[in-house]
Amino acid sequence: MRCHEVDYEIIGHDMQIVEVELDPSETVIAEAGSMTYMEEGVDFETRMGDGAKADEGLLGKVFSAGKRMLTGESMFTTHFSNRGQGKKRVAFSAPYPGSIVALNMAELGEKITCQKDAFLCAALGTSISITFNKRLGAGLFGGEGFILQTLAGDGMAFIQAGGTVIKKELKGETLRVDTGCLVGFTPGIKYDIQRAGNLKSMIFGGEGVFLATLSGTGTVWLQSLPFSRMADRILAHAPSVGGSDKGEGSVLGGIGRILDGD
């Protein structure tokens, strides 16, 4: 199934949205809950699976949805279609601060492997599935990089990344990155998990025990601020359940509660 040909505009800098322009009868699929706004004439419907195979039976849809559940995503995707006259627009945003990467799948080998929570939206016809890293090291120690998503198709797809996006072109080189900083990579890139340095570095380095190793020829996208890293910092500086303050801002936080009468 050939993907629908959609136009788009990415708006903003640090907290971006992507506005997709739909011709009549065109459809874009998206993660549930990612829609920001849509114009009159755009209808939406929640469906099981990605809709890439129009003749896929119920069993196939259930199997596809079950694989998506393994990534922590919803069993369903939302299909937004232009049922009106003329061009209509619908916009999507990521659930955390960062950037949106537009991927012309036809120019990238019609296949992208990305982190399990990277997918935001794509033209109808794009297949979304999961892949497991087959190497034992990646399976045991890969963490965020163990279960990956695969996007396949010849249309536009959009993935989300935390912080600043870095695009690297590898030409037979090897790149080692934190597993959480990897966003996606094209065919031709081999992915593995390897030990990070010697025992001392592993214990006291603070960079993680294992790193993702990317080698070969192709494109790699990285993110400067993985959501998991940001969430860990927020939790580390949040007040404890019992109400005591820890970390930065505890004095001001205590004053604020006194003024509020707590």
pLDDT confidence band for 36 (50 / 70 / 90): very high
Whether residue 33 lies inside any domain: the answer is: yes
148, 116 in Cβ contact below 8 A? yes
> Any idea what DSSP says for residue 42?
E
Whether residue 258 lies inside any domain: the answer is: no
pLDDT value of position 159: 96
State how far the alpha carbon of 119 is from the alpha carbons of 61, 176, 194, 224, 242, in Å: 19, 23, 26, 17, 37
Q: What number of CA atoms fall less than 13 Å from residue 103's CA on the CB side?
A: 36
Whether residue 106 lies inside any domain: the answer is: yes
The per-residue pLDDT for range 187-218, each reduced to its tens digit, is: 999 988 877 665 555 555 555 567 889 999 99
**Residue span of the structural domain in which 118 resides:** 7-232
Residue with tokens 């982190």: 115
Whether residue 53 lies inside any domain: the answer is: yes
192, 134 in Cβ contact below 8 A? no
Please determine, for residue 58, whether its predicted confidence score (pLDDT) is greater than 60. no
Q: Tell me, what amino acid is at 184? A: G
Please determine, for residue 109, whether its predicted confidence score (pLDDT) is greater than 60. yes
Structural domain tally of the chain?
A: 1
pLDDT value of position 133: 63
Range of weakest confidence among 130-134, 137-141, 158-162, 163-167: 137-141
Higher local confidence (pLDDT), 183 or 61: 183
Whether residue 204 lies inside any domain: the answer is: yes
Q: What is the CATH number of the domain that holds 199?
A: 3.60.160.10
Residue with tokens 């950037």: 99
The per-residue pLDDT for range 85-106, each reduced to its tens digit, is: 999 999 999 888 889 999 999 9
236 phi, psi to nearest 5 deg? -65, -30
Mean pLDDT of 117-145: 73
pLDDT confidence band for 251 (50 / 70 / 90): very low
pLDDT value of position 190: 93
Whether residue 136 lies inside any domain: the answer is: yes
pLDDT confidence band for 174 (50 / 70 / 90): very high
Whether residue 260 lies inside any domain: the answer is: no
d(CA 52, CA 17): 24
45 phi, psi to nearest 5 deg? -145, 135
Q: Is 75 exposed, middle or buried (0-12, 13-18, 19+ CB in 10 A)?
A: middle
Who contacts 190 (Cβ-Cβ below 8 Å, separation ≥6)? 214, 215, 216
Who contacts 195 (Cβ-Cβ below 8 Å, separation ≥6)? 202, 209, 210, 211
pLDDT value of position 61: 53
Averaged pLDDT score across all residues of the chain: 80
Higher local confidence (pLDDT), 258 or 191: 191
Higher local confidence (pLDDT), 214 or 251: 214
Please determine, for residue 67, whether its predicted confidence score (pLDDT) is greater than 60. no
Whether residue 79 lies inside any domain: the answer is: yes
Q: Provide the percentage of residues in the chain whose pLDDT is more than 90.
A: 47
> Any idea what DSSP says for residue 178?
-
> Any idea what DSSP says for residue 212?
E
DSSP 77-90: EEEEEE-SSS-EEE
